[in-house]
Amino acid sequence: MLIQVKASAGSGKTHALTGRFIDLVLGASRDLPRACGDASDGAYAVPDILAVTFTNKAAAEMRDRVIEALKRLALDPNPAQPGKRATARRELESLLVHAQRLGIRTIDSLLYLLARVFALELGLRPDFEPSFDDRAILDDLYERLCAGLPADPTLARQFSEAAGALIDHTKNFLPTVSFRDQLLTVTARLLADPDCGDAAPEALRLGLARRLGELQNAADALLRAIEAEKLSGNAHFLTFLRKCRDCDNAAALPSSAFAAKASLAECLNKASRDKVTPALDRLHAAMTASHDVCRRQGPVLLAASRLAPFLALARRLAADFPAYLARMRMLPQSQWGRLVAARLAGEDGVPDAWCRMGSGLAHILVDEFQDTARSQWEVLRLLALESLSRGGSLYLVGDVKQAIYGWRGGDAALFDEAPADPELTQVAEPIFDALPHNWRSAPAIVGANNRFFGRLSDPAAAQQTTEALLGEGLAAAAPELAAAIGRAFAGATQEVRPDYHGPQGHVRVTALNAEDPDTYHDAARGALLTLLKAELIPRHGPGGVAVLTRTNPQAARCAAWLVAAGIEVVTENSLRLADHPLIGQLAAMLAFLDYPPDSLAFWAFVSGQELFGDLSGIDRRELAGWLAGLPRRASLSLAFKARWPEVWQRLIRPYLRQSGVASPYDILRSVVSGYRLIERRPADEAFIRRFLEIAHLAENDGRASISAFLEFWNDKGEGETVPQPENAGAVRVMTIHKAKGLQFPAVVVPYHHFHTDNKNPALVTADFPEGRLLVPDQPGLGLDYARRRARELAEQLHLLYVAWTRPEIELHAFVPGHGPLRDKASYPLPRAMAGLFAGLGHDPADGDPIRIGAPPETPAAAPAACPTPPPEPALVEPGPPMDWLPRVKVFRNVARDIRQSMRFSEKQRGELAHAAAEAFARAGFDPADPAPAAARAVATALGPARLDPGLRAALAQELADMLVWLAGLDALRPAFVAGLPERELLDADGSRHRPDLFAASPEAILVADFKTGRPATDHEAQVSRYVGLIRRLPGLADAPAAGFLLYLDRRECRPVEIRS
């Protein structure tokens, strides 16, 4: 079977993939994979099923869902089909022993596996390492090439020619691209397409000369004919003809409006227009045709000529490429698809691969197929062709409307091309399916998107939108793009999930009038801050709001607005390690420990408040005054030691003594422990842990010295980030690309004037009479250029769709009003949107904002029934460094938590609080004296935790006080007396729910759920869900109910409103 599934936003794509995978698992009739054996009967084993995703996160999510579904089937007490339960149980037991039986992997991991299978044929050792940085390899090859310059005159001449071509192309004082960057860009293109740019430089020169000669001859002939017939031509036209006749430089081709005139009569004075003969018109047509050829093809040939010297050098680099990879035992990711496809396309390629892998593929499932690159599809296609021919299946899931990764190779056209592939359809009839429901968004959002994007399924609306996107310059590609948009958005309308009972949702589209981008920024800033403060944050909390932008600079600008307004915000950049002051100070401390005379590193270390300043007790102004009074060339560290000897002995000297024998990881771990960084700065724990992890990984990679680690950190640390927190309690600001696959209660899209330009065009190939050219993409390439630009502009429409389908409850969009931001060609999306607003009633630029649905009610603040949290504990003195070292040396190879002997994180503290509360509720207590029971429950919770004695005592006291507070809540007394702790409840789907504590009788239902950390919007919904499940129990449907959220660490209990 060849199945294509269209899965619009929020339609349950992962659920459908998981369901298909489970059905295939349950249908497996073999224990061992097919591999080289005969599988003509169509039988297959579980390892013969392959699901391909594009990210590790998606693969992990699908793997979890498959295992969870198998567990539900295996544990179902009343299965409709007992055979399925037995199969699920058997597969789960097999997975416990052989986890690799579950074939769910990323496309990159699949290509890497196949490349390793064919390593010897590729000229590599089977233990080669993958490389994800082509630039590092090309940089090394470039340095090796440059090293041969003194001894190779031919190479020196090629370098000189390439440098001359680069300088000749420069319009300003300096080239816009460096010599190295230009050469390595050409080399990368040559490695991806070895046949690009085969035209000889001499052929390019002659081709230019021929075209210019034809123009010169045509202009001269027309001039002579006009003079012979004694015609009176327009003076500007005659000047244009003479310039064309004398032009010998394609880069200075004359231009004039007369070049576009349809007839010679339009170029003559009135008295001569009637004297034009057919022969003169033919001469005029020949001249304009020659000029048009030079205008279009001249820049292409010039660009190819400028790149020709770089191509010659690139071929030398490419020739060294295979030997370099074999010598270094690596293969870059960019080569995997091309090389693997070449091997699989050979005789017995796919069966040979299966034999080597020890497992064949009967069924292939591909997620997000619209983002597949052609090189990746070529591999998948060959695998699928073999699977289909043996009775297997190919299951493709995707949505062209969400194709936003064309810039990294994704080709959305494959989504429609694959089911129509002649070879595939010859062995399997295609089946087309679609997922009709939206399981994510409220009805108002689903309805608004249906009315807005659904118009694009109409050919007239698709054509109008296409013309607005492309403008006149790319009109040649309009018919194809209009048809593609119509196909992509056909069936775009969705139905609301049938069991939806949440808020109706709200959509608001507001026009902001602005004459230029700067004034729009000001208007967007005011509107965004007002919206967040007055509406969205009170309704959803900061963590329930996302601001989505097109570019990273826009995201940074929005984040700066929020920070200045005192609104908590999380962005990609705010999670970068290198930008965090504490991490910078730790790196500076390492640099000082590595080389104590480095006064700059020492100052960066001791002047930082986050790491050293708060602990040392030295006032920053005193420190600055001391620095200003030092003599020139003084050693900062020695002067500091003399001025503050006690601080030196306590906070610096112990670590300085260890710098020669301990690794960077060991020193950092010692500093984190000795300086009590986690206790002092709990909000920075994620950054500290990630920095420690990087030091540990660098050490395992051979960078065991401080200097080696610092070299690695300075080179690679810029891109390191901490993971995005799940419950950040802050407004998230991110690009639309980053938001793909995510959802949020409320979404704001402040920018819709997506800028488009072609300032840095990609290198493409073009077939000319002179040969195959390698040139930057440009209008002279005609329809091919227009098609490529059309695909890029279509992604703007896809980005809009992705952004507007992220919200669950509220969508707020700011769009440019009438003016330059809607009319300029560089901002095509607002023009395209103007024609689609009719689906929403009116254009917001013509009047009031578009409003659909109603905003949800702002929840009233819950009364605090509990005392305020206790004050933070006082800072402790740093402990001796390296006291944990022997234990680390023994356990580091198996320890997953890099701070195992430090204070528990807030998450771990919360888990301990949960455990203590559950033990307390389960064992019971004397209301008059709950302290003994609290102590026993705390001892039970802390039993397995390895903690230093001081920390254990502090935690024991803190948790005991918490339980005594819990026992004093009168409203929960019935639950403590007769309640059921941690009792499972099953819903209609068989999913298990486990409230922390509940008591139920026909007279009353009481539910209490223990929490830690910040209150979240879904906590109340969770308690309400528990009550709903309890009411389905016999005799409890009409029982009055009460629910409570108990935030243990905050000593706060919140009543939850329960609807009847």
Which of 3.40.50.300, 3.30.70.920, 1.10.1740.10, 3.40.47.10 would CATH assign to domain 2-128+332-435?
3.40.50.300
Strand 363-366 to strand 437-438: parallel, antiparallel, or no bridges (unpaired)? Answer: unpaired
Longest Cα–Cα distance in the chain = 123
* Cβ proximity of 223 and 229 under 8 Å: no
- Give the 3-state secondary structure of residue 904: coil
Task: Give the pLDDT score at 190.
Answer: 92
Task: Give the pLDDT score at 844.
Answer: 93
> Tokens 């254990």 sit at which residue?
952
First CA to last CA distance, the chain: 49
Q: What would the pLDDT profile of 916-954 be if each residue is shown by its tens digit?
A: 888 888 778 888 888 998 888 888 888 755 566 767 788
Cα–Cα distance between 148 and 223 in angstroms, integer?
55
* Cβ proximity of 1015 and 1044 under 8 Å: no
Q: What would the pLDDT profile of 304-354 be if each residue is shown by its tens digit?
A: 999 999 999 999 999 999 888 888 888 888 888 888 998 888 877 888 888
Residue 132: other Cβ atoms inside 10 A:
9
Tokens of 195: 């046949």
* Cβ proximity of 378 and 417 under 8 Å: no
CA-CA-CA-CA torsion sign (636, 640, 642, 647): negative
Residue 511 sits at φ, ψ, to 5 deg, of -90, 135
Cβ density class 270-305: b for 16+ within 10 Å, e for less: eebeeebeeebeebbebbbebbeebbebbbbbbbbb
Where in the chain are the domains? 2-128+332-435, 133-328, 439-569+723-756+800-856, 577-719, 904-1056
The helix or strand, by DSSP H or E, that contains position 882, with its residue range, turns out to be none
Q: What would the pLDDT profile of 660-688 be if each residue is shown by its tens digit?
A: 778 889 899 989 988 989 888 887 888 89
Q: How far is CA 220 from CA 255, 291, 826, in A?
A: 16, 13, 39
- Give the 3-state secondary structure of residue 997: strand
* Cβ proximity of 729 and 541 under 8 Å: yes
Of the candidates 380, 366, 373, the residue with the CA atom closest to the CA atom of residue 410: 373
Establish whether domains 2-128+332-435 and 439-569+723-756+800-856 are of one fold: yes
Which of 3.30.1540.20, 1.20.210.10, 3.50.50.60, 3.90.320.10 would CATH assign to domain 904-1056?
3.90.320.10
The letter for the amino acid at 986 is: L
Cα–Cα distance between 58 and 410 in angstroms, integer?
17
Q: Is the entire prediction scored with pTM above 0.85?
A: no
Tokens of 351: 């069966």
> Tokens 């983002």 sit at which residue?
371
SS3 sequence, 120-186? Answer: CCCCCCCCCEEECCHHHHHHHHHHHHHHCCCCCHHHHHHHHHHHHHHHHCCCCCCCCCCHHHHHHHH
The helix or strand, by DSSP H or E, that contains position 469, with its residue range, turns out to be helix 459-470
Task: Give the pLDDT score at 905.
Answer: 61
Is domain 439-569+723-756+800-856 classified as CATH 3.40.50.300? yes
| Residues contacting 629, CB < 8 A, separation 6+ | none
* Cβ proximity of 416 and 488 under 8 Å: no
Binding residues for ATP: 7-14
* Cβ proximity of 706 and 658 under 8 Å: no
Tokens of 542: 């900061």
Q: Please report how many Cα atoms fall inside a 13 Å half-sphere around the Cα of residue 73, on the Cβ side.
A: 23
Tokens of 967: 């026992």
DSSP string for residues in 263-317? SGGGGB-GGGGGG--HHHHHHHHHHHHHHHHHHHHHHHHHHHHHHHHHHHHHHHH
Cα–Cα distance between 1041 and 1006 in angstroms, integer?
6
The residues with which 788 forms a beta bridge, in sequence order, are none
Residue spans of the chain under pLDDT 50: 867-904
Task: Give the pLDDT score at 35.
Answer: 64
> Tokens 């394609």 sit at which residue?
250
Task: Give the pLDDT score at 874.
Answer: 40
Domain covering 577-719, topology = PCRA; domain 4 (1.10.486)
The helix or strand, by DSSP H or E, that contains position 353, with its residue range, turns out to be helix 349-357
Binding residues: 7-14
Sheet architecture: strand order including 850-853 = 569-571, 731-735, 545-549, 744-749, 807-816, 506-512, 850-853
Of the candidates 814, 726, 740, 745, the residue with the CA atom closest to the CA atom of residue 546: 745
Residue 978: other Cβ atoms inside 10 A:
11
CA-CA-CA-CA torsion sign (778, 780, 786, 787): negative
DSSP string for residues in 545-608? EEEEESSHHHHHHHHHHHHHTT--EEETGGGBSTT-HHHHHHHHHHHHHH-TT-HHHHHHHHT-
Cα–Cα distance between 640 and 706 in angstroms, integer?
23
Cα–Cα distance between 362 and 377 in angstroms, integer?
17
- Give the 3-state secondary structure of residue 614: helix
